[in-house]
Amino acid sequence: MRYEKLPSALYTRNRQALAERLESKGLALIFSNDIYPTSADGTLPFKQATDIFYLCGVDQEETILLLFPQAHSEMDREILFTIETSEELAIWHGAKLTKEEARQQTGIKNVQWLDAFDSTLHRLMAEAEVLYLNDNPHTRASTPVETREMRENTRIRSAYPNHRVARTAPDLYSLRAIKQEQEIIQMQRACDITKAGLDRVLSFVKPGVTEFEIEAEFMHEFLRRGSRGFAYTPIIGSGPNACVLHYIENDKECKAGDVILMDVGAEYGNYAADMTRCIPVSGRFTDRQRAVYNSVYSVMQDAMKLLRPGVSLHDYHREVGELMTRQLIDLKLIDKHDVEKQSAASPAYKKYFMHGTSHFIGLDVHDVGHWHKDIEAGNVFTCEPGIYIPEEGLGIRLENDILITNEGFVDLMAHIPLEAEAIEEGMNN
């Protein structure tokens, strides 16, 4: 494994926290992801389901976690099922975890091969009263392809129709939203790798380079530092492309006088970084570009100060909207008349800043968490205001990853160049 593993004590703690939330005689099942096919004999790279990774740290397909905290036998309270290595599998694809390796990695004493799952579950379902199944209620989720979790949930519901079914997702959302110290260390590593990528790119960019060449520079630096690559599909948008929020083609030439918006982040050990920086192709911002840049920077600095325990996320986004409104008036993009006639559903600032300012981040880039709950210490959010002016071919977004503490916040990307002057200095040294 190219990344440094976290201690098994973290996963033991995470399982215990979930177990304490299950009803009496509740049995929970959590499944790994599949390896998804492309065409012919091709497959996509394996990406572990983040819930099972959070609970046991196994980064391997065909894995099932069974939790039954009140099982009569202590050995039945935590069981990990995983694929058995065969001689042929080891030759063609590499050996999978042995039972002892799985025990050491997860802290789970009872490790069984996958072919024992159905018989073991059948035995324990006679004792269980509530069946906990996991799902993906993320508000931005789109799952047209059936996941292993969906497939197994359907099969098990059919096999045990008389058991009451409950959901683990709401509890996992609460638990995963509060990051533990070891998780913060892993996220900081992802941020540090992301910084190294930006440092490399700042000295590389000049008129005539392509967006995909910039993408390649980031990837080179990420891979050589132990990352498996981007935590999400990178956005490298120069000139007008910066005004397309989810621009991922990254196939245009970067022209003198334009600004490049780069929304990129490295993953490390399955944890994500999420950074956005905007840099001038020619190495210097024009006066107008600098004015817009500094407006976004100002909103970002004030928005970060609002991210503190006890604050409602709804109130936070409303206050950021007010900050942005003042900046857009100063830039003469909107005026006081626009503000006076705006509606609550469609505030004037949304014409130039149409997305949210923050989202949870962790094992998933758009990580899980409850938006109706107040901000808590241990949450990690992005802070990413932006101004997009299609008529000027200019889009500016700035983004850092922010850890909430009891005292306020810690900027995990405070060491990454951010101010306009720092960006120019990095490009011209």
Residue 265 pLDDT > 70, yes or no?
A: yes
237 band by pLDDT with thresholds 50, 70 and 90: very high
Last residue of a domain, one of 177, 211, 244: 177
Tokens of 325: 């409104």
Alpha helical stretches, state H, 160-231: 169-177, 181-202, 211-224
Please check whether residues 173 and 185 belong to one and the same domain: no
Please check whether residues 188 and 84 belong to one and the same domain: no
Please check whether residues 80 and 215 belong to one and the same domain: no
Please check whether residues 141 and 238 belong to one and the same domain: no
263 band by pLDDT with thresholds 50, 70 and 90: very high
Q: How many domains does the chain have?
A: 2
- What residues have CB less than 8 Å from 327, skipping those under 6 apart? 295, 296, 298, 299, 387
Please check whether residues 90 and 188 belong to one and the same domain: no
Q: What is the mean pLDDT of residues 38-48?
A: 93
Question: Tell me, what CATH number does 286's domain have?
Answer: 3.90.230.10
Minimum mean pLDDT among 49-53, 144-148, 364-368: which range?
144-148
- Digit-coded pLDDT (tens) for 277-325: 999 999 999 999 999 999 999 999 999 999 999 999 999 999 999 999 9
Tokens of 22: 């299950």
- DSSP code of 349? G
How far is residue 383's CA from residue 408's CA, in Å, rounded to a whole number? 14
1 band by pLDDT with thresholds 50, 70 and 90: low
- Whether 163 is covered by a domain: the verdict is yes
- Digit-coded pLDDT (tens) for 398-423: 999 999 999 999 999 999 999 999 99
Quick check: helix, strand or coil at residue 260?
A: strand
How far is residue 166's CA from residue 343's CA, in Å, rounded to a whole number? 41
Mean pLDDT of the chain: 96
Please check whether residues 214 and 327 belong to one and the same domain: yes
Q: Looking at residue 43, what is its pLDDT?
A: 93
Count of beta carbons in the 10 Å neighbourhood of residue 23: 12
- Whether 1 is covered by a domain: the verdict is no
Domain that holds residue 23: 8-177
Last residue of a domain, one of 177, 212, 232: 177
- Whether 2 is covered by a domain: the verdict is no
Q: Positive or negative CA dihedral for 230, 233, 238, 242?
A: negative
For residue 266, the number of C-alpha atoms closer than 13 Å in the C-beta half-sphere is 30
Please check whether residues 172 and 206 belong to one and the same domain: no
Separation in Å, CA 366 to CA 79, 183, 272, 369, 380: 29, 16, 9, 9, 11
Q: What is the mean pLDDT of residues 215-228?
A: 98
- Whether 278 is covered by a domain: the verdict is yes
Residue 45 pLDDT > 70, yes or no?
A: yes
Closest of 71, 65, 73, 68 to residue 31, by C-alpha: 65
- Whether 285 is covered by a domain: the verdict is yes
Please check whether residues 259 and 388 belong to one and the same domain: yes
Quick check: helix, strand or coil at residue 81?
A: strand
194 band by pLDDT with thresholds 50, 70 and 90: very high
Please check whether residues 274 and 195 belong to one and the same domain: yes
187 band by pLDDT with thresholds 50, 70 and 90: very high
Percent of the chain with pLDDT over 70: 100
Please check whether residues 240 and 124 belong to one and the same domain: no
Last residue of a domain, one of 117, 152, 177: 177
Residue in the structure block whose two tokens are 């703690």 = 13
Position 333, amino acid:
L
Please check whether residues 84 and 23 belong to one and the same domain: yes
Tokens of 424: 């120019």
Please check whether residues 166 and 212 belong to one and the same domain: no
